[in-house]
Amino acid sequence: MKGNLLYGQSGGPTTVINATAYGVIKQAFESEEIKEVYAMRHGIRGALEDDLIHVNSLAEEEIELLPKTPGAAFGSVRYKIAKAKDDETDYVRLLYIFKKYNIRYFLYNGGNDSMDTCYKISEYMKKVDYDVQIIGLPKTIDNDLPFTDHTPGFGSAAKYIANTIMEIHYDMIAYPKGKITIVEIMGRHAGWLTASSAIASLSGYGPDLIYLPEIPFDIEQFKKDVQEVYEKKNQCLVAVSEGVTNKDGEFISSSSALKDAFGHFQLGGVAPKLANIIDSEMKYKARSIELSTIQRSAAHLQSLTDVEEAIQVGRTGVAMALKGMSDVMVTMNRKKQKDYEIEYTTHPLKDVANVERVVPKEMINKKQTGMTQAFYDYVLPLIQGENPSGFKEGIQQFSTILKNS
């Protein structure tokens, strides 16, 4: 089917989402069926507002910089489209845009909510009998998408977290009697990122205690855990997920009642809250550190494995669309554990949307404050290799597509 391709980015950025964009663009340029490639500026909002970037017109150097560029080079968005049965406004607009630009291939790069958007659009286009191949491209540092071994973006974030925890630990032990340091790491319902802090332990500089959202968080038990470590070591390093909840499912942070477009609470603040408890109730000196968006934007610590897989996800998505596949998300399956090898397949979008994959129990230790060998076996292949940034006069060089196009 000859026609044009429309690509978009959605949700929280990663250090390799632009590597996936690079894979999409390169594969599309090599295709005889795809004439023009467009990218939505700020995700689906760009399509609704007829704000598209003509990728064919971009300078080659801008495209070549994509794999080393963090953030979302074409702009991202958190926009929830209604169900077509409730409101067809957005769908009618998208159909108009698809026809206007002869879009026959639509690839959307995102996480759980983005796959939901893909599925809704696909169902509507089939309903109105508009022929378009729709493919979801996985992306999220949270690593919580189902039916795939892992997601592009997680490996690089895990690498950054592990190395940063090592640096924090090494700074902390400079004094004979240190503070209790609490590091807050992203992760709403899935603790993959916080678990990654344990990688630092392989070099002897990891956290003493790790708390994941998969395990109900008990303040009193937390205080006992901290006291036990502090009395032995005169210091304590804690890694805690922003999404930890109590036994009733209430977020420990819950400092904000704000929600995003998809109804998710905007989290953050659990580390300062716990540090305050330690200061006021336990009379120990405590410090809080929030890694925040740095863990998803540290391009200088990209995993080469992550970058290469992200590119291949983009290429695979286009290749599968050209073969007539639609309504699926590209997935990665681990063929071997010992000799790491990945194969690229697909899974129906209808099964992926709004489903979260959490850290399995066998990867969490018996005390529920650390990780098992099963986790290390899983995660270590994902952080291998470096993708050196291109520096000029000491400054990293990034693509400027969003700024200048």
- Each residue's pLDDT tens digit, 248-258: 988 887 554 45
Give the pLDDT confidence of 299-352 residue by residue, as tens digits. Answer: 999 999 999 999 999 999 999 999 999 999 999 999 877 789 999 999 999 999
Give the pLDDT confidence of 190-245 residue by residue, as tens digits. Answer: 999 999 999 999 999 999 999 999 999 999 999 999 999 999 999 999 999 999 99
Calculate the average pLDDT of the chain: 94
- The pLDDT of residue 365 is 97
At 308 the three-state DSSP class reads helix
Within its chain, how far is the Cα of 247 from the centroid? 27
pTM: 0.94
For range 278-297, the mean pLDDT? 95
Q: Which CATH class is domain 3-152+301-354+385-404?
A: alpha beta
In SS3 terms, 338-362 reads as CCCEEEEEEEEHHHHCCCCCCCCHH
Confidence of residue 10 (pLDDT cuts 50, 70, 90): very high
| pLDDT above 90 (res 284) | yes
Please name the helix (run of DSSP H) or strand (run of DSSP E) that holds residue 296, with its range, or none. helix 294-297
Tell me whether the CATH fold assigned to 3-152+301-354+385-404 matches the one assigned to 154-297. Answer: yes
Contact 400, 52 (CB under 8 A): no
- The pLDDT of residue 259 is 53
Cα separation of 32 and 24, whole Å? 14
For range 344-371, the mean pLDDT? 94
- The pLDDT of residue 268 is 65
52, 34, 49, 58: which is closest to 79 by C-alpha? 49
Contact 313, 327 (CB under 8 A): no
- The pLDDT of residue 244 is 95
Q: Which tokens go with 295?
A: 């863990």
- Please tell me the least confidently modeled range out of 63-67, 136-140, 387-391: 387-391
Catalytic annotation present for 87 = no
Give the pLDDT confidence of 309-321 residue by residue, as tens digits. Answer: 999 999 999 999 9
What ranges do the domains of the chain cover?
3-152+301-354+385-404, 154-297
Cα separation of 398 and 38, whole Å? 20
- The pLDDT of residue 404 is 80
- The pLDDT of residue 253 is 79
The domain 154-297 is placed in CATH, from the list 3.20.20.80, 3.30.420.10, 1.10.275.10, 3.40.50.460, at 3.40.50.460
**CA pseudo-torsion sign 398, 17, 315, 41:** negative
Could you say which of 116, 142, 144, 306 is catalytic? 142
Contact 399, 58 (CB under 8 A): no
